[in-house]
Amino acid sequence: MHLEGRRDALIVVDLQPDFMPGGALAVAGGDQIAAPIGRLARRFATVVATQDWHPRGHVSFASSHAGRRPFESIALHGGAQTLWPDHCVQGSPGARLHPDLPDEALTLVLRKGTRAQVDSYSGFVENVGPDGTRASTGLGAWLQARGIERVFVVGLARDFCVKATALDAAAAGLQTWVVDDLTRAVDPTQAATVDAALAEGGVRRIDSGELS
């Protein structure tokens, strides 16, 4: 597939040390995709990097709920919330963008999960909040105002924030691809389920070697 500078954007999801091996919420192999994503970013005129950016005591942290452990699920705001280890705390080393992602290639850094009582997997729309609605981050309107028609999504983790970002991009009317070889999953055994959800949401899949 030939990239077209004026209408294509790369969305790099949560390429942060806390999601790398040795980090607070490590995704196996997460470090393996950092350098290839950095090289790919230089080929796009528009690059958006999402950045998990949680305040201390965030509602998604298991430590914020007495007696709860990471990876348990609780009911929150009318839905299910997975509880995570404390991660990507604002200003912490683990919350920084990975150094293999060249700062000069980034057009926009979008910080998400910044509100203490609302989680945000997607770069486009937050999870359901206390009022029962999902608040827009404004990313869809920003991309469309720049004339972007196609987005390519990479990063971490494929089964959570990559999936949510891609599905919401497609729902916003953007032609959307997940670049499979430049993602890694928290639970790789769920790949078929994730693939089905992406297909149902109109998201296509591609490998980076197919981009020219």
Active centre residues (catalytic): 14, 112, 161
205 vs 170: CA distance, rounded Å: 12
Report which of 70, 4, 79, 36 is spatially closest to residue 184, judged by C-alpha positions: 36
Residues 121, 187, 14: CA angle, nearest 5 degrees: 35
Query: Phi-psi category of 49—alpha, beta or left, where left has phi over 0 and alpha has psi -120 to 50?
Result: beta
